[in-house]
């Protein structure tokens, strides 16, 4: 469960004269970790919004396990950059709320046990009663990740989820996501503009240029990957150089300001 197929996806925002996405074709296997890499304005967040079901493609098909998808669904959990937690609920209550939306048949005690188990998985035991304002940015993002996983979704969609945290917390959260992917065996699609982050996390990297996918790159480095251990590895260095070169080569004539105005 959790195989994604995008077939000739095109998308155009109302009032725009040009397409934001053109002829997107991509297949993601169940249990795979795919990073969508590209700079601001290339269309990667629009692509994720289609995968979330928040936008419908202008043309083409989006399928999960062979079934065409036209909106949001419980098989997909979403983590955004800015946490999206309910400020009036505690950390644990935020997770419980998510579980109740998709697992209504479970008794109250079992829901609480699941929420507690995922608090532990993301290293937040002892913070159950804290509200978001009492948590750091990294802790809030842990709660958002725990909530998405606790909803038992087959697919996790993450839109630059670590962009608002500092470097140290970013490394910690990257390791957490890697560990959770290995233990949960879910399908992960992770949007980022960070080259090193994409190499650390992904089985494959989807490199986007404005409106389209330019290249899909296999990451053959063994997992689990620890940044401090592999940052000087020759394969890591070579892949990082290749991706940076792609940024310089493929974006040199692209106006970010005009693109960001469209997205």
Look at residue 233 and give its three-state secondary structure: coil
Predicted local confidence at residue 250, as pLDDT: 64
pTM to 2 decimal places: 0.88
More confident of the two residues 84 and 64: 64
Alpha helices, DSSP H only, in 103-162? 108-121, 137-150
On average, the pLDDT of the chain sits at 89
CA distances from 94 to 59, 98, 150, 151, 152 (A): 36, 7, 11, 11, 15
pLDDT tens column, 158-201: 998 887 778 888 888 888 889 889 888 899 999 998 999 999 99
Predicted local confidence at residue 253, as pLDDT: 53
More confident of the two residues 81 and 155: 155
Which residues partner with 190 through β-bridges? 35, 158
Instruction: List, in order, residues 6 or more apart from 159 with CB less than 8 Å away.
Output: 45, 48, 78, 79, 80, 81, 191
């Amino acid at each position: 469960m959790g195989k994604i197929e995008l077939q000739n996806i095109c998308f155009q925002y109302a009032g725009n004269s040009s397409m934001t996405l053109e002829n997107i074709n991509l297949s993601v296997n169940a249990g795979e970790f795919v990073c969508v890499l590209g700079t601001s304005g290339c269309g990667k967040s629009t692509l994720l919004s289609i995968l979330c079901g928040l936008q419908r493609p202008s043309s083409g098909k989006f399928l999960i396990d062979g079934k065409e998808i036209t909106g949001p669904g419980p098989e997909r959990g979403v983590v955004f950059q800015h946490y999206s937690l309910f400020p009036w609920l505690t950390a644990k209550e935020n997770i419980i709320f998510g579980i109740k939306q998709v697992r209504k048949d479970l008794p109250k005690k079992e829901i609480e046990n699941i929420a507690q188990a995922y608090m532990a998985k993301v290293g937040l035991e002892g913070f159950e009663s804290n509200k978001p304002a009492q948590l750091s940015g990294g802790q809030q993002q842990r709660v958002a990740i725990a909530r998405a996983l606790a909803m038992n979704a087959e697919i996790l969609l993450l839109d630059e989820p670590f962009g608002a945290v500092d470097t140290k917390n970013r490394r910690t959260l990257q390791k957490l996501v890697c560990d959770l992917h290995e233990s949960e065996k879910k399908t992960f699609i992770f949007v980022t503009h960070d080259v090193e982050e994409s190499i650390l996390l992904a089985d494959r990297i989807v490199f986007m240029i404005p409106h389209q996918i330019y290249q899909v790159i296999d990451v053959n480095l063994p997992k689990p990957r620890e940044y401090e251990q592999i940052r000087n590895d020759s394969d890591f260095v070579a892949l990082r150089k290749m991706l940076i070169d792609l940024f310089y080569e493929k974006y040199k004539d692209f106006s970010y300001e005009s693109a960001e105005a469209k997205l």
